[in-house]
Structure 1
């Protein structure tokens, strides 16, 4: 009987000390585990961009872009936030002549528009010698036509290289 009682108290002692130590070690391992930031992974797939921007740009190719939640802290290990806005930002190639055709539209006045807020992982894909042009009226029309979401953002075009830079925020539903 005394042997059993001693065994039970040892188990309680081991559980009392072991559980917190085990939980602490698991928490430390979770915190120190190397992980790539969700917002730092440059994507190259064009299908999502073509679905999202087709009415504004036509088909895009050779895309380099990031897509992430506005409130994302990176790593995807946080409690989901009520803000469901998504940001798509990147550089893509348009079909030959598309950028020039868009910029010649008399309904939109295009002027020089430097890239502001370009995330560091995308800098290698945005030529520093590009002549980026923007139009606030084009942005407004392009973002309202057929996208079916509440968007905001901007497009910049380089007519020489047929490149488009997009920085676009929409309500994810």
Structure 2
């Protein structure tokens, strides 16, 4: 009977120590578990950008961008309605010399313009000394080819860094 009592005491001791350790491990696991993606998660994949903008820009690299439904908050994840407005905004590098080639095209009058309303998560990827150039005619021509949606927005180019900043809303009706 003495050995039985010793086993019971050890089990109680292990249970008494094990339960708090398990709860602590579960709490730590919850604290470090990755959160769901939101509109604020900066994406770096270039596939969607190359498919969307290839005719206007060619292949891009080193991208930092956001893509989200501007009419849906993070708390109301629902089935999209018939009218969806998706915003694509971010930066990407172009092939060497592409930004200068685009901005020197005489068919478009590019002007120096500052960027407007850069989302907070993208601020670290926007060079402070960039000389952004925009052209309304370039934006219109670049976006009319091969799209089955109504886009609005701008491309801005920095020729020194071969960098493009894009900010578009695509309306899917």
Check whether the contact 1:91–1:125 (CA below 8 A) recurs between aligned residues: yes
Q: CA deviation at 1:105?
A: 0.3
When the two chains are superposed, the root-mean-square deviation of aligned CA atoms in Å is 1.9
SS in 2 for 1:40: coil
Write out per-residue CA displacement over residues 77-130 of structure 1, whole angstroms, 9 at most, x where no aligned residue: 356444311110000000000000000100001111111011000000010100
Aligned to 2:65: 65
Aligned to 1:102: 102
Q: CA deviation at 1:140?
A: 0.7
Unaligned runs of 5+ in 2: 1-33
Write out per-residue CA displacement over residues 47-70 of structure 1, whole angstroms, 9 at most, x where no aligned residue: 000000000000000000000002
Q: CA deviation at 1:172?
A: 3.8
Distance in 1, Cα, partners of 2:68 & 2:150: 16
Relative to structure 1, the CA distance from residue 155 to residue 115 in structure 2 (aligned partners, 3 Å threshold; closer, same or farther) is same
May I ask how many residue pairs the two structures share in their alignment? 140
Unaligned runs of 5+ in 1: 1-33
Counterparts of 1:25-40 in structure 2, within 5 Å, are 35=35, 38-40=38-40
TM-score (norm 2): 0.75
Check whether the contact 2:83–2:172 (CA below 8 A) recurs between aligned residues: no
SS in 1 for 2:39: helix
SS in 1 for 2:67: strand
Check whether the contact 1:143–1:151 (CA below 8 A) recurs between aligned residues: yes
Check whether the contact 1:91–1:166 (CA below 8 A) recurs between aligned residues: yes
Aligned to 1:167: 167
Distance in 2, Cα, partners of 1:35 & 1:75: 13
Check whether the contact 1:53–1:147 (CA below 8 A) recurs between aligned residues: no
Aligned to 1:15: none
Counterparts of 1:132-151 in structure 2, within 5 Å, are 132-151=132-151
Counterparts of 1:52-91 in structure 2, within 5 Å, are 52-75=52-75, 77-78=77-78, 80-91=80-91
TM-score (norm 1): 0.75
Distance in 2, Cα, partners of 1:105 & 1:64: 26
